[in-house]
Amino acid sequence: MNASIGHVHLKVADLERSLAFYRDVLGFEVTQQFGTQAAFLSSDGYHHHIGLNTWDSAGGNPPAFGTTGLYHVAILFPSGAELAGAVRRVLEAGIPLDGSADHGVSEAVYLKDPDGNGVELYRDRPKEDWPRKPDGTLAMFTAPLDLGRLLLAGEQ
């Protein structure tokens, strides 16, 4: 199988507030907007990677803790420098981080969008550097991420 995830579509309470996060902080481009009800965003001219709508959720509240739903959406950046740039914009916008981790295969930073949806910003390491067990399967782990090193590397 050679499938991939094409896009995520999120119910939001306030479209402009969500656009300020996904467009202005994370850097996605609006490809189409339907007034105050829906917008579609992309990172490279694709029709959309993220859909935002208020159709069933205008003015709504995030789901209560302990309920089912989206755990997080993961946004893959092509390089450590681009990941660092996004993290820097998040911090400059005053958005708190929920955590960060080195997973061996990737470096990840976790936060919430304005509607409480989990967001993972990450970059993959080259496939040949992924940790593997003797049988060839992945040996992913969770270790502390040196966020200062990531941000410094992004300035070079």
| pTM for this prediction | 0.93
Alpha helix segments (H runs only) across the chain: 15-19, 80-92, 147-154
Confidence of residue 153 (pLDDT cuts 50, 70, 90): confident
Q: Could you tell me what percent of the chain has a pLDDT over 90?
A: 88
**Distance in angstroms (rounded) separating the CA atoms of residues 105 and 142:** 10
pLDDT for 135-149, tens place per residue? 999 999 999 999 999
Tell me which residue of 69, 8, 9 sits closest to 38, measured CA to CA.
9
All structural domains of the chain: 7-56 (3.10.180.10), 71-156 (3.10.180.10)
Of 69, 66, 74, nearest to 26 by C-alpha is 74
Write down the pLDDT at residue 156: 64
pLDDT of 4 above 90: no
Q: What average pLDDT is seen over the chain?
A: 95
